[in-house]
Structure 1
Amino acid sequence: MGKFSIKTQICFVSVMLSAFLYSCNQSGHIETTATPSISENTTEVKTETTKQKTVLSSEFKKYWYAGEAEISSYKLEQARYGEIREGTAVLIFVTEDFLPLKQVKADNKNAKNVPVLKLNATKNFNTGIYPYSIMQSVFYPISNNQHALKVSNSIQEWCGHVYDQLNNREQFEITSHSYFEGEADEKFNLGKTVLENELWAQLRIDPKSLPVGEIQVIPSLEFTRLKHVPIKAFQAMASIDKNTYSMHYPELNRTLSITYNPEFPFDILSWEESFKSGFGEQANLLTTKATKLKTIKSPYWKKNHNKNEKLRTVLLLD
């Protein structure tokens, strides 16, 4: 390089270095979700997206992008305080765009939006004179290659109301509010692992992708709240037998089984949840059961007039 000036040599080295770095970046490229511009996500979340994403079929797009939600009603037999209570449960699945930084549903189209399959799961039953109302909400990426972006749970009954929220950022960020002294306002983080809440939406996208074997799972926020169990990961054994997905938690003496249609759209037909219910020596191993009554597709957010109440009769809720 003695023939060239110092300035020319510096320019040549700079060009070569830039080419080398660009080449390294290209060779290390891994396809992420449909919205790779989500720069506000943390390193942990980006790592999750290195899993292979689910390729959406034409029937999936036709079913889930028709501008309607899928609403399914269930006959509920809920274990509470050592007895079985009759009630109803509803699963509402709908696709929408989610903003991972603000952790909310997106109002407008945006390159940073993440398409999700949202599940709002509700339960209503009475314990003697007073009613219970439970709702869990899950925002699960349709790419099916990372954990739910957000999970929340609220329970209302005459003694008071409680609320839990999990946000998927660098870690799982937990916020919890309760009227119980020992469970008052709390904020803490957890390492990322399987969320029981997310499995219901994951099943609807691809049942074969559900985790099996010995795994670490954070139980549903409904269960941890009703049983006053710490929100943390527990060891579980998961398996699929024909069209039933089951998980058993040895430490919690709890088993959850979800039975689904083996054919698309993989709708949930029923579920059972066995655990000890009651207090002290009066506690017994009881099984909560939910059996499907009816499914409809509807843009329910537009069905808010008195004349639309007949749809509740169609769902066998009234």
Structure 2
Amino acid sequence: MRSLIGLLIVLLGFSCNRPQRENVDFKEWGDFWFQGKAEINSYDLSQYRYGEEREGEAVLIFVTEDFSRKKHLKLDDPDGAGRDKISVLKMNQTREFVTGIYPYHMMLSAFTPTKEATQGLKFTSTSQEWCGQSFTQLNLKSGDNYSGELFSYFEEEGEKSFSIEGVAEDDLWNLIRINPNQVPIGSVMMWPSLIQQRFTHQDFIAEEAFIRAIDISENRSQLEVTYSSGNRILRINYEKEFPYQILGWEEEQTNKNGKKELTKAVRKGTKVIDYWDRKALEDEFLRDELKLNN
């Protein structure tokens, strides 16, 4: 009996000793990210769709949350969750633009552990336009293995489940915000953004991509992701110093006919605020401060 109890204690100890992120100043990080507020960034968006450039607006929201390891959901009672609680950095990305007569409303969410050295736990995306809507969700199962589900109004896509291995492109934004040194540099197996997948309607397939960090000025750096197929290049511009704010990004897409399409976002406003408590009519002036149009 004693040997069995000892074995259980050892196994429990191993389960609690999860690898932690290295070379991150979590004192400085926590002073900024655990103050009970979110960082909101607004961007002028030039989004290519159907072969033409569309003017629109994008928003990036970064905030920390207490997350359930088992359910991959925001905890209602973090204090009572025990070992099920894990701290994550959540990014919500929205894109609003119009194609001809009808609008597009897109949203992406990424949930990345703050201190534990593991890949993003969950990624979701929604796309709504006048033809219909779709929803995609991927959850980390183990290592770099994800299970996913897609619900679409297109018959060919329908409702399907799938699995995929590799690094999520949508994880890079949070890794930059934790610390750019957390981004895997060099050759990796990566699957494109869920927003990009909605535009292309291609199957969820990881491919080799090359990641590098480039100094573009004294205060700014750029993360560049080039896919081996040559069809897609992502460039994210960010500040070199903490808290590594995202200044803008570019997505270069090469079509089958060789034509290049460049989607761009340039930051126009930023604010750190508890936006969930600013829901009265008198709070709408805050949208003006963020230069939001929609």
Alignment TM-score, normalising by the size of structure 2:
0.89
Decide whether aligned partners of structure 1 residues 254 and 143 sit closer, same or farther in structure 2, where only a CA change above 3 A counts.
same
1:273 aligns with 2:280: no
Contact 1:91–1:119 (CA<8 Å) still a contact in 2? yes
Decide whether aligned partners of structure 1 residues 241 and 55 sit closer, same or farther in structure 2, where only a CA change above 3 A counts.
closer
Residue of structure 2 equivalent to 1:7: none
Contact 1:98–1:113 (CA<8 Å) still a contact in 2? yes
Amino acid in the other structure paired with 1:103: H
Residue 162 of structure 1 deviates from its aligned partner by 0.8
Contact 2:123–2:137 (CA<8 Å) still a contact in 1? yes
Residue of structure 2 equivalent to 1:314: 289
Residue 140 of structure 1 deviates from its aligned partner by 0.6
Residue of structure 2 equivalent to 1:286: 261
One of 28, 38, 42 as aligned partner of 1:59: 28
Amino acid in the other structure paired with 2:262: T
- Equivalents in 2 of 1:144, 1:197: separation in Å? 18
Residue 217 of structure 1 deviates from its aligned partner by 0.4
One of 156, 177, 195 as aligned partner of 2:151: 177
Contact 1:144–1:202 (CA<8 Å) still a contact in 2? no
Decide whether aligned partners of structure 1 residues 245 and 272 sit closer, same or farther in structure 2, where only a CA change above 3 A counts.
same
- Percent sequence identity over aligned pairs: 37
Amino acid in the other structure paired with 1:130: Y
Contact 2:126–2:136 (CA<8 Å) still a contact in 1? yes
1:245 aligns with 2:207: no
Amino acid in the other structure paired with 2:222: T
1:298 aligns with 2:273: yes
Residue 232 of structure 1 deviates from its aligned partner by 2.1
- Equivalents in 2 of 1:55, 1:208: separation in Å? 8
Contact 1:54–1:144 (CA<8 Å) still a contact in 2? no
2:127 match: secondary structure:
strand
- Equivalents in 1 of 2:149, 2:4: separation in Å? 45
Contact 1:246–1:258 (CA<8 Å) still a contact in 2? yes
Residue of structure 2 equivalent to 1:88: 57
Contact 1:124–1:133 (CA<8 Å) still a contact in 2? yes
Residue of structure 2 equivalent to 1:8: none
Residue of structure 2 equivalent to 1:128: 100
Residue 169 of structure 1 deviates from its aligned partner by 2.1
Contact 1:238–1:246 (CA<8 Å) still a contact in 2? yes
Amino acid in the other structure paired with 1:114: I
Residue 303 of structure 1 deviates from its aligned partner by 1.0
Judging by fraction of residues, say which structure has more strand: 2
Contact 1:74–1:88 (CA<8 Å) still a contact in 2? yes
Residue of structure 2 equivalent to 1:197: 170
Contact 2:249–2:264 (CA<8 Å) still a contact in 1? yes
Contact 1:255–1:274 (CA<8 Å) still a contact in 2? yes
1:131 match: secondary structure:
strand
Residue 182 of structure 1 deviates from its aligned partner by 1.2
Q: Which has the larger radius of gyration?
A: 1
- Equivalents in 2 of 1:248, 1:167: separation in Å? 24
Amino acid in the other structure paired with 1:314: E
Contact 2:169–2:190 (CA<8 Å) still a contact in 1? yes
Residue 18 of structure 1 deviates from its aligned partner by 6.7
Amino acid in the other structure paired with 2:94: T
Residue of structure 2 equivalent to 1:255: 233
Decide whether aligned partners of structure 1 residues 51 and 251 sit closer, same or farther in structure 2, where only a CA change above 3 A counts.
farther
Q: Per-residue displacement from partner, 1:288-309 (whole Å, max 9, x unpaired)?
A: 0001101101111111111111
The runs of 5 or more residues in structure 1 that have no matched partner are 1-13, 37-45
Contact 1:70–1:296 (CA<8 Å) still a contact in 2? yes
1:149 aligns with 2:121: yes
Residue of structure 1 equivalent to 2:218: none
- Equivalents in 2 of 1:124, 1:276: separation in Å? 22
1:183 match: secondary structure:
coil
Q: Per-residue displacement from partner, 1:180-223 (whole Å, max 9, x unpaired)?
A: 111110012223x2111111001100101211111100111111
Contact 2:19–2:116 (CA<8 Å) still a contact in 1? no
- Equivalents in 2 of 1:159, 1:19: separation in Å? 60
2:175 match: secondary structure:
helix
The runs of 5 or more residues in structure 2 that have no matched partner are 216-220
